[in-house]
Structure 1
Amino acid sequence: MPYTYAVTSHSQASPEAVFTALVHPATWPSWSPIDSVELEDGADPEKRQQVGDIRIFRAGRGVARERIVELVTDRRFVYENTGSPFRSYRGTVELAESPHGGTDITWTGTFRPRLPLTGPFWQWYLTRFMQRMADGLAAYAAAPDPI
């Protein structure tokens, strides 16, 4: 059975500014609970990422390896986790220009845990973790000279 989560946040920044932070992995430790990031092929994390790039994130003792699978400039950022603790995991960040200015951010995910009976825990954990991600992204992109 697949599990899901969905969180939202609002940024005073434009969709372009929010998207720019998403595709520059070196910014992630500045706005998220991520401690460090590197790119699997040794590329410069300051550079804009492309579809197919693989990022390795560290947060505490946890390590996540993610591949970017879809980018729609200023609108959508889609990635897949390529390792434990999931059999499958797909995250999507949707950006929409808000009618009141700024950007509405919707961060969703669908996953299947590797270990039986852990789905409810991961759903609870990821909902909270990704809310921190979305809120941090919203604030970072709206700051003066974020990148």
Structure 2
Amino acid sequence: MPNSYRVSARSAAAPDAVYRLLLSAGTWPLWSPIDAAEVENGTDPGRLARVGDTRIFRTGRAVSRERVVELVTDRRFGYEIVGGRTFRSYRGLVELASDGRGGTTVTWSATFQPAVRFTGPFWEWFLTRFMRRMAAGLAAHAVASTAPREPDAGSDPMMGI
């Protein structure tokens, strides 16, 4: 029987802004507990993900290889862990829904089977806590990345005229 978790966060940013961050592996260390991200085969981590891309995330000594398996523009981002010894199967899904106020409800969930029997409850507890941080960081960074930027203090806005 598979284990699972489900967490949610709200962002004042629109779904398209949140979705763009999910697609760009290079942004993940900016808004999550992940230390480093790259796309397998040397693809630019700033490039927007495509179905079939394998992305490598490092957090401390832990390394996760994740393949993008589903993309629905501004609504859904699906992935699965490939290789590794921690899980026999792991399928994650990030769903984005307009909250009716110009923002987005981010729901991050997964079903998985641990490789080691009887560790499911631990992984549910651990992943719920970790993914709560992921969802909250994504929601907050989407707002920050879409906020209007102030001109530099020393710049003169009339210089280009």
TM over 0.5: yes
Q: What residue in structure 2 maps to residue 26 of structure 1?
A: 26
Q: What residue in structure 2 maps to residue 17 of structure 1?
A: 17
CA RMSD of aligned residues (A): 1.0
Q: What residue in structure 2 maps to residue 35 of structure 1?
A: 35
Deviation at 1:144, TM superposition (A): 4.0
Deviation at 1:40, TM superposition (A): 1.1
Q: Does 1:119 align with 2:151?
A: no
Identity %: 59
Deviation at 1:41, TM superposition (A): 1.1
| SS of residue matched to 2:33 | coil
Deviation at 1:145, TM superposition (A): 4.3
2:117 maps to a residue whose letter is P
Structure having greater relative contact order (Cα 8 Å, sep ≥ 6): 1
1:97 maps to a residue whose letter is S
Deviation at 1:101, TM superposition (A): 2.5
Q: What residue in structure 1 maps to residue 51 of structure 2?
A: 51
Q: What residue in structure 2 maps to residue 91 of structure 1?
A: 92
Work out the CA distance in 2 between the residues paired with 1:50 and 1:144: 22
Q: What are the Cα deviations for residues 29-62 of structure 1, in whole angstroms up to 9, with x where unaligned?
A: 0000000011111100011110000001000111
Q: What are the Cα deviations for residues 45-83 of structure 1, in whole angstroms up to 9, with x where unaligned?
A: 011110000001000111100000000000000000112
| SS of residue matched to 1:143 | helix
Deviation at 1:107, TM superposition (A): 0.3
Work out the CA distance in 2 between the residues paired with 1:144 and 1:49: 19
Q: What residue in structure 1 maps to residue 105 of structure 2?
A: 104
Unpaired runs of 5+ in structure 2?
A: 148-161
Deviation at 1:122, TM superposition (A): 0.4
Work out the CA distance in 1 between the residues paired with 2:145 and 2:62: 31
Work out the CA distance in 1 between the residues paired with 2:34 and 2:85: 17
TM-score normalised by length of structure 2:
0.88
1:88 maps to a residue whose letter is S
Deviation at 1:120, TM superposition (A): 0.6
Runs of 4+ more than 3 Å apart: none
Mark the CA change 1:69 to 1:97 in structure 2 (over 3 Å): closer, same or farther: same
| SS of residue matched to 2:141 | helix
Does the aligned pair in 1 maintain the 2:6–2:107 contact within 8 Å? yes
Unpaired runs of 5+ in structure 1?
A: none
